[in-house]
Amino acid sequence: MASKAAAWLLLITNLPGRNPTLRMRVWRALKAAGAGLLRDGVYVLPNSAASRLVFEEQGREIQAGSGLVQILSFDADSPEQNAALVALFDRTPEYQEAVRRLDSFKRELAKRKETEARQRLTALGREVGTLVARDFFPGQARGQVEGALADAEAALNARFAPDEPRAAHRKIPRRERKDYRGRTWATREHLWIDRVASAWLIRRFIDPDAKFLWLKRVKDCPKRALGFDFDSAEFSHIGAKVTFEVLLASFGLEHDAGLARMGALVHHLDMGGIPIAEGAGFAAVMTGARMLQQDDDALLKAMTPVLDSLYAAYSASTES
């Protein structure tokens, strides 16, 4: 029978004193990875494949600089020692600082322009995501910062996108794509993440000949048009799903792995929560495109190759 893996990994380093640059580079890399410092040159991480990879990568750096490295796995000798090791990874003070910055963001929101506010919240979300990635023993503090981030995102949308749809609570009926060809689709003007991604999805996978109307007021939506991403629209938020995800489910596209990953990205950027890796970059591209394009037709045209490229990358990564 295979023995149980040890709970902890230890990195013991002996760096040449004449190479302070290497010493600082290794220290920064290990701090960014969330390693606990037991003493100078001795680091600990919970045992995992990812942790071993971190230690091995830094070990190679150290050896290339004529330093010495040992990587050891071990279990704590007692519950007290294990608790002391776990305490090295307490992120509570960092979470408290993140909550403070998010609260400050909400207080100052009335003074910010939309582009500046979205850029600032994107940066804050990226910081929270980095912190969460280093939180090996999550507790109540993580839940608090997740709630604070969601509140900040809701406050931003309430100020700059007050017409965001409310989720309906009903089943999502399955539709046939052949019945939705050559149609006119309508949504709110000044496209943002869910609307631009949904328009891309419609044209690429549902209705290649789709025409789009960008509405100043949703009550002016023509009866012949298929509305999306506003209250009372034929396709909008249902339950926990954003419009992009509702379209996937409606037209049987949710099993396309690339589209499913895009749905997760759109969901995060539209509804909030802990960021995923590509979210900040995609939101930054979208923010810049909105600044550069003079209308929503031009914006959709500019974002189409971005979304095409993202879909290609996501599809390829799920096949490998």
d(CA 254, CA 205): 12
Residue that terminates a domain, selected from 127, 160, 193: 160
| Residue 171 within a domain | no
d(CA 149, CA 161): 17
CATH number at residue 24: 3.30.70.240
What are the φ and ψ backbone dihedral angles of 53, each rounded to 5 degrees? -60, -40
Contacts of 37 (CB under 8 A, 6+ apart): 30, 43, 88
**Predicted confidence (pLDDT) per residue in 209-237, tens digit:** 999 999 999 999 999 999 999 998 999 99
Instruction: Flag residues of the chain having pLDDT under 70.
Output: 1-3, 273-274, 318-320
Identify whether residues 121 and 82 lie together within a single domain: no
Contact 106, 152 (CB under 8 A): yes
Identify whether residues 82 and 216 lie together within a single domain: no
- How many domains in the chain? 3
Q: Which helix (H) or strand (E) holds 8?
A: strand 8-14
> Residue 158's pLDDT is what?
81
> Residue 273's pLDDT is what?
65
| Residue 3 within a domain | no
| Residue 205 within a domain | yes
Identify whether residues 147 and 255 lie together within a single domain: no
Identify whether residues 186 and 311 lie together within a single domain: yes
> Residue 203's pLDDT is what?
98
| Residue 282 within a domain | yes
Identify whether residues 196 and 307 lie together within a single domain: yes
| Residue 209 within a domain | yes
Please state at what angle helix 243-250 crosses helix 257-271, rounded to 10 degrees. 150
| Residue 169 within a domain | no
Range of the domain at 39: 8-87
| Residue 170 within a domain | no
CA atoms within 13 A on the CB side of 98: 28
